[in-house]
Amino acid sequence: MHLEVIGVGGAGCRIVDRLAERTGTGQADGRRATTDDQRLDGSFIVDTFAFDTDPDALAELAAVPEAHRHRYGTASDGLDGDLRAGLDVGEAHVDELSRVIDQGSPSKAEAFLLVVGLGGATGGGTAPALAADVRELYGTPVYVVGTLPTNGEIERSEDARSGGADGPAAPQGPDSGEDTLDRPLAGRNALRTIDRLNGVADAIVPFDNEAYLRTDEGLATGRGRVNDELIYRLATFFSLGDRAEGGEVSAEQTIDASDVDRTFGDETVLAALGYAEQQVDTADDDGSLLGLGLIGGDDEPDVDTSEAVSAVETVVRKAVRGKLTAECDRSSATGALLAVGGPPAWLNRRAIADGRSWLEGETQARTVRGGDVPDADADAVFAVALLAGVRDVERIEELREQV
């Protein structure tokens, strides 16, 4: 599907900038991605934008085109966590931001993807107004991906406010990062922003930063790696249809924008993404369609059927039962989408169908939409699962208890 991708506020802009780097869709002279970075498919990106109240933060971006970076409001150093001020600024400047979006190609987009740090005042304050505006102007779905504040951010904020024996934590390293800042309202901001997005966004995909940090790692140190975890899942999921249609081998069933929209449903829902992959032996695989069960013949298939079935079953279950973008009650999902990809000979059609049937039994989804993504150059089988309409998101419930 084709998306206008918009970062709002410091965290959202950094994530979108990194997404543009990793996909090679940003300005060529500003790319900082190293040769060690795995290039991601950016075919789903129509444009990238970065909106912030802090001009210095915008100046630090590299891949989002300069013409698509826009500073709004008058707060030169950001909003210092004041969500009320953020809401006022967002509502006052939403028309201005929409005019910037018009400089891109919004008519080509099948949906808008807003990326925000839910604990911040700029992203949290502007996202509801911007989501409502673009939804009305363009008549297309709006999906919000929002990062949730970590324990380190909130706990340090409590220390700073209470004037404990240790006092505020000193910045560590060249990037002071959110985990060393006084953000006493981050948790409350996140909850209020989620509430305000209800009814104006088609879906909210929370990303639990805390779950992806390593032991004794703060967000200042781990932010880049954690952002890459999110970016990888977003790029993999939203490029599914384009990869299936553009590959050397045609997919049996492709995923398009309407599949995603119908999976989310007619009301604002919380959703989670899961991903898993398994390396497979492709030494003797000539890229035939035998594994898909589309072609019969007297010759033995390149891949043992039981091995192909096992690989598909394994990645499907790991994608659903493993680490999601945010931990939640999987059985509460009212909509689900499942895609399985990899070397064509490993994509056993019956196993993929069985995986969708299994996921129906694991959720409340009446139908599990999905497809296959054959890739003759791949050396792994992967599965991506979207669970929509989920309840009891653990990190959100933890924040409710803390505030």
Q: Is 163 exposed, middle or buried (0-12, 13-18, 19+ CB in 10 A)?
A: exposed
Is residue 31 a contact partner of residue 19, using CB atoms and an 8 Å limit?
Answer: no
Percent of the chain with pLDDT over 90: 74
Structural element, H or E, at residue 339: strand 335-342
State in words which class domain 3-238 has. Answer: alpha beta
Domain range annotation of the chain: 3-238, 271-388
Residue-wise pLDDT tens digits, 284-293:
545 454 455 5
Residue-wise pLDDT tens digits, 181-224:
457 789 999 999 999 999 999 999 999 999 999 988 888 889 99
Alpha-carbon Rg of the chain, whole angstroms?
21
Structural element, H or E, at residue 324: none
Taking CB atoms within 8 Å and a gap of at least 24, the contacts of 356-364 are 358/316, 358/317, 359/316, 359/320, 359/385, 360/336, 362/320, 362/330, 362/331, 363/330, 363/331, 363/332, 363/333, 363/334, 363/336, 363/387, 364/331, 364/332, 364/333, 364/334, 364/389
What is the fold, at CATH topology level, of the domain defined by 271-388?
60s Ribosomal Protein L30; Chain: A; (3.30.1330)
Average pLDDT over residues 225-248: 88
Tell me the pLDDT of the chain averaged across its residues: 87
What proportions of the chain, in percent to the nearest 5, are helix, strand and coil? Answer: 45, 20, 35
- CA 126, 132, 138, 144 torsion-angle sign: positive
> Which pLDDT does position 152 carry in this prediction?
80
Residue-wise pLDDT tens digits, 52-97:
999 999 999 999 999 999 999 986 556 778 899 999 999 999 999 9
DSSP assignment of 212-226, as one string? HSPTT--HHHHHHHH
Is residue 20 a contact partner of residue 26, using CB atoms and an 8 Å limit?
Answer: yes
153: pLDDT confidence band, cut at 50, 70 and 90? confident
294: pLDDT confidence band, cut at 50, 70 and 90? very low
237: pLDDT confidence band, cut at 50, 70 and 90? very high
- CA 241, 41, 273, 120 torsion-angle sign: negative
Average pLDDT over residues 147-175: 55
Residue-wise pLDDT tens digits, 1-10:
999 999 999 9
> Which pLDDT does position 174 carry in this prediction?
34
> Which pLDDT does position 134 carry in this prediction?
97
